Structure formats: structure tokens, C-alpha cells
Amino acid sequence: MPDTTDSTPEPQSERRTRRDVPHGAFRADGGGEGRKILFVLTSHETLGQDDGKPTGFHLFEAARPWRVLRDAGFSIDFASPRGGAAPIDPGSLDNKDPDNAALLKDPVASRSLRNTIAIERVCATDYRCVYFPGGHGAMWDFPDNPHIQRIAADIHDRGGVVAAVCHGPAALVNVRNAEGLYLVEGLRIAAFTDEEERAIGKERAVPFLLASRLKARGALHVKAENFRECVVADQRVVTGQNPASAARLAETLRETLQGRVALNG
């Protein structure tokens, strides 16, 4: 469970002014009755621009939600900023993990990982949900990508769900809703913490500290102790703190999409 919220909550009167389409009112022009979900993976392969250590997307943070949502009957597409093969962070490449193995051995999913859709080609109206797994690479190619911003904003504005875990919330730092407000403003958001970044010695490798940037955008940053599980759902935005949160995030996201959890709690 989350331990602290390290930002000052906005007044409830301000939260009530946020435009919020009821989840049951989701409308899509395609997507098989709202059963399609888009996973967006980083294309960035190094810690830094050119000569850093290898990175990519965190395999388990993609694999566990993929398996849970697939088993619940959802259809999943994979996209990335550049398209084509998405790099896997070698530190997450644990083939003994059953979820990782299931994703990599599934013929359709493994082919999709090698041939992700270029994000600029994605039509947001095809999807009920967009999910951003983490991995340090996301810190470089998620925040300023206009197509990521377009897709996240459009899905949320239409009553869909936006989800992210660990460094995946880097996708949300510059997303604005239909009113021009930052999507995360006034929402409880979990993400990889500044303390965790310092604990693994990568606070100088990343372009910015994610939790601090989210708070600067008005997010109410919710966190647990370093490397402990923390997942929150608020106004159809579901976020998790770190790899330890991926399994619970998967269940929370499934329940949110099935209308079984309170979307403001």
C-alpha cells in the first residue's frame, strides 16, 4: 500500500471542475467493442543519447499486464516511438519468469515486439486504454513525443483509461487534457521515485527526476518505501511505482476496465 503523498492536494472544489467523462460512457469508432488496448514501449536503447549503457523497456512490466489482460479477453497491440523492434532492458531479461517467458514465446506477441507500430500511425479511437510500461529508455523518448501526448489525451478525454508503471509515467508529464490542463494535475500518481533513482545511482544518468517533474505538473505523488509495491487509480489514470508494482497494476487495470474498482480511489 502507498505510504505517503508528497505534494499538497489541490482543493476539492478545483478537482470537481476537472472534466470527467464517466468510464461507462467510453465511445470508440473501432476496437472490437472497446476490447483493444495499446501498449507503448520505448525505442530508446541507451542510458544517455549515444554511448550509455544499454536499456530499453522493462520486460516484466510489459509481460505481466499483457498476460492478465489477454487472459481477460482484451486484444493488445504494441507501438513505440520509432516502430519496429523494441529494445528490452537487459536487466529485466529474466527468461525464467513465467510471464516473461509467456510473452516472448507467444507467436503473435513476439512478432509484435519485433514489429511494433510506429506511434505516429496509431489511431487513438481504436483503443479503450493506453498503457506505458517502464524501463529507463522511456525517460528520453516518451515525454516530448507529440503522438504519445495526442493518444493519451484523446483516449482519456473520450472516457478511456491511461496507465503507466515505473518510468512509464514519463509519457504523462506533458500530456494536456481538452481544457488545456496537465492530465496529471490534481491526480494521485505513482511513479519511480527520486529516492529510488538515487538508490540505484542513476539520478545523473536520466534527463530529469520523474517524480519531481510530475509534482511540478501538479500531480499528487503517492509513494511507498523504495522498491515496494504502490499502485493508485484516480480519474481513469492507473499508475504504479516500480517493477514490484507491475503485478498489482495489471490486476487494478483489468478491474478498472471491467468497471470493478472505484475510478477516483
Q: Residue 73: what pLDDT? A: 96
All structural domains of the chain:
30-257 (3.40.50.880)
**pLDDT of 69-115, one tens digit each?**
999 999 999 999 999 999 999 999 998 999 999 999 999 999 999 99
> Hey, CA dihedral for 110, 111, 113, 119, is it positive or negative?
negative
Q: Given pLDDT bands bounded at 50, 70 and 90, which one contains residue 20?
A: low
pLDDT of 17 higher than 70: no
Q: Which residue(s) pair with 188 in the sheet?
A: 220
15 or 74: which carries more pLDDT confidence?
Answer: 74
Q: Residue 261: what pLDDT? A: 57
